[in-house]
Amino acid sequence: MTNRYTYTSESLLGLNGKISAFNCIHAASKLLKGKGLTNQSINKAMEAMDGLAKTTGMKEMEPLVFVPVFDRDLTESATGIIDLADYFNCPVLDVMMYCRFLADLENEGFLTLENSMVWSPLKRKYRVNAKVMEAIIQGKDVMQDHEPEKHMLEDQLDFCRAVSVMADSREKGEMDTKELLGNITLLEEAFPSFDIVKTLREKEIDIKNRAIFYIICEDSTFRPDREMDLTDVLNAVFDSPGARLSFKSSFLQLDNPLIKEELLEGVGESSVRLTTKGLTLYLGDMAKAYIKPINGLDCYGFASAIYKIFGDADEERPGFSDEIKKKLFRLELANNQLAFVNKMEEDYDDLDRFLFYMVCYECMEDDSFDLGDLTCIYPKAESVRVSHMFKADEHPLQKEKLVECSKQGFFDQSVLTLTDAGKRLFFGDDAANFMEKVENRDFFLPEKIVERKLFFNEPLRQQLDLLQKSLEEKYFAELRKRLGEKGMQKGIAVLLYGPPGTGKTESVMQMARATGRAIFHVDISATKSCWFGESEKLIKDVFKKYEDISANRDKRPILLFNEADGIFSKRKDANSSNVAQTENAIQNIILEEMERLDGILIATTNMADNLDGAFERRFLFKIKFDRPVLEARRSIWLSKMPTLAEDDAQALATSFCFSGGEIDNIVRKATIMEVLDDKPPQLQELKRLCREEKIHNEARRIGFP
């Protein structure tokens, strides 16, 4: 027989003899849950729901939706329309007529809206007010123990923040553009009195542009002069590339209504920012708080003020350099408490000082100053002269080692960047933060290196163990001391050579991790420039940067020249070509630096036979990596494929003389097959993958599969 839940009027009473809200909920849930929300099920539960209404002050059919929200809340689950349909075991359409009671219960304080930034009724999720929950469970008077918890937006800042949160959801794929704009429209209708909403609607600016403006406002809350990348804003609003392109075009052609109404202004080729009019519409009287005084600034405020002067400069207007000088004079006079201001005023003229400050601003923004922008500071004829001085390393800022000129980008355009000395002068105690930003581009911290188990033959393992022990700080410090006392070179230079994929680079990474040393990796291709004389400067900068990094770390890092065949190869006939002359010059610089090395240099190469003899003499350790022997290959297979049977690992190791890198390739392809076929490949399939690994596999196989 099927057990049926029955109750009597007495079962709704609590211990005090009065109707208990909890007992009413319990009884109603038994009669409603899973019953299809039929008239019959509702009528059966009516007495319990009436009792709940009497004890809590709920109205009409509100208990019908409150009961499932309460029931689900006991398991920490919020409830929406679809959840109600699942609870009653009925179509969503059947519960739609009762949806309004959820909002009513929220307004009366019985429920709270969990996802308050969602303005579509179909996606709202509700929980029971915490005080109501406590009162019902403890048998207290619910009608006097709670107040409505409103999720209202207090001002326009909250409003724009709500829009920005919605845009984040759209960008994550949680809603599309149509739904985003619909939610923003609902939000506007909920707060039509906000000036920002009323004004934009009165100006008949469409919803798409209103959404763009709201997002830019929110992102500019604490930095009203901030430039917003237009692409980022459009990506947040539109899921269609065509729509993004269309709106970007309207901005670039100054045909956008926000531009025409002078609420936004373009900056450069792809950025926008709020105008004073736009800022005032957004912040109202609070906009005055962002009119910053020019005195009492720190280095960051000073650099930002300099950039504003630079942005206002117009090279097409006669006398713009004189305007820069006047504004600079007022700014420096108001901030003569800054040490770098006094230093610069003593040694440099007005426009050179301004240029230094602009390079500092770009450094603050993790960028560099394009030499082509000198025309925005100097008169045109003067800008050419200054540009030539920088390219010849003759500018006063270079001679004092405050600024350096180098080439970047695909077309090797010349840019100015701060030296470490320039960073220390301008940023003071914060200079190390900006040095770290530059270092991290080719910098591997030991704690970020993933531990990997390597398998080598015993002679190679012994050599690597000796090297690693030498790099442990307590031994390395003593070695440097002893060698220095004997007048010998204090640094350690190491050459790791052998076929590709045999573990040379990974050995360096694991030694760095084990000894707590960072790795400063040299990008070999970046040291070779098509500009005559530039490569020599780049390679000098490598060693200079290494010394700067070493000076700011407790342990000397490892300077790694990975796959260094191209720069450690035999020197060429200097009369053969300009390229040969440049490569020989680079090698001479490296040889000189290795002579006075006071750190750790490790080079890896696949072609030791091509190594120049002068380099060979300067490497203290020369460690050869051979292809792994049978036992090592077997261990590598088992390490990388733990599910592989030992006999299968032995068979693969015996049949194929692969390096660790080649075994990695096989394991990756096997993983792809496992994902596609939903089962790991068998031995014969692995052997097929092995045979396909080598273009000339016949020469590499041992025995027969």
Helix (H, G, I), strand (E, B) or coil at 422: helix
At residue 438, the pLDDT reads 42
CATH for 299-442, among 1.10.10, 2.40.50, 2.40.30, 1.10.3470?
A: 1.10.10
At residue 703, the pLDDT reads 40
354, two tokens:
């301004």
At residue 699, the pLDDT reads 40
At residue 3, the pLDDT reads 43
Q: Which residues of the chain have pLDDT under 70?
A: 1-10, 14-16, 115-121, 143-152, 224-225, 268-269, 288-294, 313-320, 323, 408-412, 436-441, 525-534, 570-580, 696-705
Q: 160-166 contacts: CB < 8 A, separation 24 or more?
A: 160/196, 160/214, 160/215, 160/217, 160/218, 160/221, 160/282, 161/218, 161/221, 162/117, 162/187, 163/187, 163/211, 163/214, 163/215, 163/218, 164/214, 164/215, 164/218, 164/219, 165/117, 166/117, 166/119
Residue 592 CA, chain-centre distance (Å), reads: 39
At residue 564, the pLDDT reads 80
CA distance 698 to 704: 10
CA distance 33 to 428: 68
At residue 16, the pLDDT reads 64
Helix (H, G, I), strand (E, B) or coil at 319: coil
At residue 152, the pLDDT reads 61
Residue 250 CA, chain-centre distance (Å), reads: 30
Please give the class, per CATH, of domain 9-144: mainly alpha
CATH for 446-624, among 3.40.640.10, 3.30.200.20, 3.30.160.150, 3.40.50.300?
A: 3.40.50.300
At residue 705, the pLDDT reads 36
- pLDDT (tens digit, 9 = 90+) per residue, 152-188? 678 889 899 889 988 988 888 878 899 889 889 988 9
- Strands 271-274 vs 228-229: parallel, antiparallel or unpaired: antiparallel
At residue 632, the pLDDT reads 87
> Which phi and psi (to 5°) does residue 560 adopt?
-105, 115
What's the Cα-to-Cα distance from 239 to each of 60, 187, 195, 557, rounded to whole Å? 43, 21, 29, 46
Give me the residues paired with residue 656 across strands: 701
CA distance 684 to 266: 63
The conformation of residue 125, written as its DSSP 8-state character, comes to -
At residue 120, the pLDDT reads 65
